[in-house]
Amino acid sequence: MNEDKGWALLQQPVWRIIDQSSLGPMFEALQSFAMDDTLCTSVGSGEAPATARSWVHHDTIVLGTQDSRTPFLNEGLKVLEQAGYRYIVRNSGGLAVVLDEGVLNISLIFSESEKGIDINRGYDAMVALVKEMFSDFDKKIEAYEIVNSYCPGSYDLSIDGKKFAGISQRRIRGGIAVQIYLCMNGSGAERAELIRRFYEKAIQGEETKFSYPQIKPDVMASLSELYGVELTVQDGMLRFLTALKKISGTIQSGELNGYERSLYDGYYDRVVKRNESVLTK
């Protein structure tokens, strides 16, 4: 892990900020994945500067492709429905995660034309940003796999062994989207328990080719729980913008440009059709 390289990647000439954190319950997760694919294409082709997008989705479970291959998927999905959650299958790697109004998501979109952006450097940039966001607290943020969490990975972010964030990455058409979910408030253990019950019903002890996580809810927490102070999504947004401005110097509020608007519908149709095909197998 090399946070200096990550820090350097954050020092873009300008960051365009697209804030979608307060669009409300009607803003769906499939729209987010289409949005990031659109931004990857435009930033990758030089039609837009480096872009940071913030987003929140209400009561949504984002499943990975491997989750859709569980032997008793429909029984697992009923668990989510009964708990009041929508669900989609994302078009990038990873496994099931919980999104709700207490979870702030951030995507950093870079162009691959900048040499040396290997996969770890993209992750290191997000780790550096999050550490700067919460640098006023005296607890150490660490990046390593929290084995019994949901969607475990080598860049899980934790404090005292309890995971509060996970990072993923998607590369398409010369662009790189590094995405993180930050559990700002609420109960990390309750979110984890829901995913534990999903796997319990979706697998039912069957042998599977893929190894799904054995979730222990107490290894997950929100930042509010970890820091002992209530932190809202709005607090997270302010910290995000402040940190990015400190690192890079220039941030500008923006929205999709004309080129991006012309791309978006096509990407949205693609993720909707893929989601439908995966869930109806």
Which pLDDT belongs to residue 1?
54
pLDDT above 90 for 211: yes
Which pLDDT belongs to residue 2?
56
Which pLDDT belongs to residue 111?
92
What six digits make up the tokens of 238? 């302010």
pLDDT above 90 for 8: no
pLDDT of 112-121, one tens digit each?
Answer: 876 657 788 8
Q: Mean of the pLDDT values across residues 199-209?
A: 95
Q: b/e for 230-261, b at 16 or more Cβ within 10 A?
A: ebebebbbebbbebbeebbeebeebebeeebe
pLDDT band at 34 (very low <50, low <70, confident <90, very high): very high
Which pLDDT belongs to residue 120?
81
Phi-psi group of 206: left, alpha or beta (phi > 0 → left; psi -120 to 50 → alpha; rest → beta): beta
pLDDT of 151-172, one tens digit each?
Answer: 999 999 999 999 999 999 998 8
Across the chain, the runs of DSSP E, i.e. the strands, are: 15-20, 51-55, 60-63, 86-89, 97-99, 103-111, 142-143, 157-159, 162-172, 175-183, 251-253
Q: How many CB atoms lie under 10 A from the CB of residue 161?
A: 11
Q: Mean of the pLDDT values across residues 53-66?
A: 96
SS3 267: helix
Which pLDDT belongs to residue 115?
61
Phi, psi dihedral angles at 54 (to 5 degrees): -110, 145
Residue reference for tokens 């009041």: 84
Q: Mean of the pLDDT values across residues 173-178?
A: 91
Which pLDDT belongs to residue 196?
98
How close are the terminal C-alpha atoms of the chain, in Å? 39
Q: What is the pTM of this model?
A: 0.95
Q: Which of 103, 104, 151, 165 is catalytic?
A: 151
pLDDT above 70 for 3: no
Domain range enclosing 127 = 3-279
Q: Which one is predicted more confidently, 119 or 141?
A: 141
What six digits make up the tokens of 154? 């080598």
Domain count, the chain: 1
Which pLDDT belongs to residue 121?
86
What six digits make up the tokens of 259? 């080129």
Phi-psi group of 198: left, alpha or beta (phi > 0 → left; psi -120 to 50 → alpha; rest → beta): alpha
40 assigned to active site: no
Which pLDDT belongs to residue 116?
58
Percent of the chain clearing pLDDT 90 (strictly above): 84
Q: Which residue type is seen at 169?
A: Q
CA–CA separation, 27 vs 236, rounded Å?
19
DSSP code, position 147: T
pLDDT above 80 for 195: yes
Q: Mean of the pLDDT values across residues 26-55?
A: 95
Q: Mean of the pLDDT values across residues 112-134?
A: 86
- Strands 142-143 vs 157-159: parallel, antiparallel or unpaired: antiparallel
Specify whether the CB–CB gap between 41 and 173 falls below 8 A. yes
DSSP secondary structure string for all residues of 150-174:
SS--TT-EEETTEEEEEEEEEEETT
Q: Mean of the pLDDT values across residues 49-60?
A: 97
pLDDT band at 137 (very low <50, low <70, confident <90, very high): very high
pLDDT band at 6 (very low <50, low <70, confident <90, very high): confident
CA neighbor of 189 nearest in space, from 142, 224, 138, 154 = 224
pLDDT of 76-113, one tens digit each?
Answer: 999 999 999 999 998 767 899 999 999 999 999 999 87
The H-or-E segment that residue 41 falls in is: helix 29-44
Check which CATH number belongs to the domain holding 53 and give it. Answer: 3.30.930.10
